[in-house]
Structure 1
Amino acid sequence: MKRFATRERNIPRAIVITLTLVAMIYIVVAITLIAVLGPEILAASDAPIALAVANIPWALPLAAIAAGLASLGALLAGLAGITRTALAMSRNKDLPGVFGHINARSSVPDYSLLLVGLAAIVLIVLGDIRTVIGFSSVGVLAYYLIANLAALNQDDAHRFVPKWLQWIGAALCTILIVTLPWQSIAAGLFVLAVGLLGRVMVLRHR
């Protein structure tokens, strides 16, 4: 019980601290880029950080390494989240049982991880990485939009933040979705439609 109480206290704190630190880093980077490049050049650039450090020979490789590590971290986090979601859906019989297989040595859903990893490789190799990131962003933002709306149903005993924060979160997710390129929105909505159709078919089969 004590262990659960500690985890219940520490996880929300870690989330707030992490989000605050990340937001501060984003603000500092944004202000720095605006000061160095100016709004017009910044808006027109596809690689603003590389452009900002172009005159500093030693900084450009560091920026490339940092970008690669950040991308790898985001990819690993995405793989972990998607495979665990597939595991939960498999246990709930929303996906085939094979996706619920757990590797005895690593304790991860290995078949789900393999499938998601292969799908990511195929999309990156065969598609435009910007389109892939775009429709992936639509899916992630839709996920958080639903999570914010679902959190409105929490009772006061389990609520960590006030309801108005959930409304702000849902509104911001919606704004970010509609500001993405229309190709990304269309691709994301198509993927969501396929998922909803699959869900309907599963429920009818039951």
Structure 2
Amino acid sequence: MGTPARAGEGPLERRLGLTDAVVIGLGSMIGAGIFAALAPAAKAAGSGLLLGLAAAAVVAYCNATSSARLAARYPASGGTYVYGRERLGEFWGYLAGWAFVVGKIASCAAMALTVGSYVWPEQAHAVAAAAVVALTAVNYVGIHKSAWLTRVIVGVVLAVLAAVVVAGLTSGAADPARLDVGSDATAGGVLQAAGLLFFAFAGYARIATLGEEVRDPARTIPRAIPLALGLTLVVYAAVAVSALAVLGSAALGDAVAPLAAVVREAGHPGLAPVVRAGAALAATGSLLALILGVSRTTLAMARDRHLPHALAAVHPRFKVPHRAELAVGAVVAILAATADLRGAIGFSSFGVLVYYALANAAAWTLSPDEGRPPLAVPAVGLAGCLVLAFSLPLSSVVSGAAVLAAGAAVYALRRAVT
């Protein structure tokens, strides 16, 4: 069992309802991934891009279902770190938390750099660091304000994506024949595309990591996670169909800014700056939600002393884990200011897939009385996560495995000296 919150560490305040939880999930998923992930996924899968999207969606659904059942039973901050600890043992919970924090910190830096590259390419690092500082400040003054800002961002980004879909599908450049699966699609390419696209789906965990701040979590979380995932899948499918129909898989795979290329090819070049602005705003929304989720898992691990215990403090006024948020924000700001981590998306995907593999393993251990989903759900989720993780580029697999091994070594050392 985990260490309970002590005086001065208090519980977080339950302020979020169903709509807020769904919006935070949407803000985490409908972010920079849909603007950036289509091109490398198309490069890997060719005309099998939609098959890769479907495979990613199936795995994401299983993960979402398992996470929702676990979150309803363990409505505390930390997500799979808590579930793994309670269902599989302390080490597996720790490993899940380690994979999540390290992988998502890399994602935070990548999203910050995406903001910088769209807003002011020549000063991308400076803009990225400034964005991290600003969003950390927003999170610091309370989760309700974070949810409100996320709602605004999601609304604007959805409007931009709708414009891309309508512009593409109603143009003379759209050719339905480009949606057919050809001989260029291979099983390995489709799986690698699914692994890359999964990065764009993974945000529904943010709802589970906020379990301590959701009202009536046993009812709200199991409803919010699949609802947010379903809405995201509809949006992604529409955007992918439009991009394929207008550009074709080869041109889509080579595009630097694929959705801007769609509107230009569709005969609406004036929309391209709007799409660029939407991409920057989407990356901002993802970064906001990522910092929120990483800080909550950091809080849970600090409570159990797997991370410095000082990070377990909860602000007496704002009721947020302020030290954890400041620590995460500082690390991400330094990375965003000094390194280009956009190539670390594969590494982040590896860590996230391992995280969800452990979530499915934890859900497998639930009894029917504890709300276990049908056994096929965690079984497909666990197998799917592992297959997609090891279908990623070799460099991502090697670096991801090395970081997980380092985390395991830290755990073993800590146990040996205590």
Structure 2 length-normalised TM: 0.45
Distance 1:123 1:188, change over 3 A: farther
User: Which residue of 1 is the match for residue 414 of structure 2?
Assistant: 202
Structure 1 CA distance, aligned partners of 2:334 and 2:402? 18
Matched, 1:18 2:237: no
User: Which residue of 2 is the match for residue 166 of structure 1?
Assistant: 378
Q: CA deviation at 1:160?
A: 5.2
User: Which residue of 2 is the match for residue 34 of structure 1?
Assistant: 244
Structure 1 length-normalised TM: 0.88
Q: Which has the higher contact order (CA 8 A, sep 6+)?
A: 2
Distance 1:10 1:102, change over 3 A: closer
Structure 1 CA distance, aligned partners of 2:302 and 2:217? 26
Supply the AA of the counterpart residue of 1:32: S
Q: CA deviation at 1:159?
A: 2.1
Structure 1 CA distance, aligned partners of 2:360 and 2:250? 34
Let me know the Cα RMSD of the aligned residues.
2.1
Matched, 1:106 2:318: yes
User: Which residue of 1 is the match for residue 153 of structure 2?
Assistant: none
Structure 1 CA distance, aligned partners of 2:256 and 2:371? 41
User: Which residue of 2 is the match for residue 87 of structure 1?
Assistant: 299
Q: Which runs of 5+ in 2 are unaligned?
A: 1-71, 73-214
User: Which residue of 2 is the match for residue 182 of structure 1?
Assistant: 394
- Higher mean C-alpha deviation, range 57-66 or range 90-99: 57-66
Structure 1 CA distance, aligned partners of 2:216 and 2:236? 30
Structure 1 CA distance, aligned partners of 2:369 and 2:311? 34
SS at match of 2:269: coil
CA contact (8 A) 1:98 1:111 kept: yes
Q: CA deviation at 1:104?
A: 2.1
Calculate percent identity across the aligned residue pairs: 36
Structure 1 CA distance, aligned partners of 2:377 and 2:221? 18
Q: Which runs of 5+ in 1 are unaligned?
A: none
Distance 1:180 1:153, change over 3 A: same
Structure 2 CA distance, aligned partners of 1:158 and 1:67? 41
Distance 1:86 1:122, change over 3 A: same
Q: Deviations over 1:61-119 (max 9, x none)?
A: 22222222222222222212211111111111212211112222322222221221222
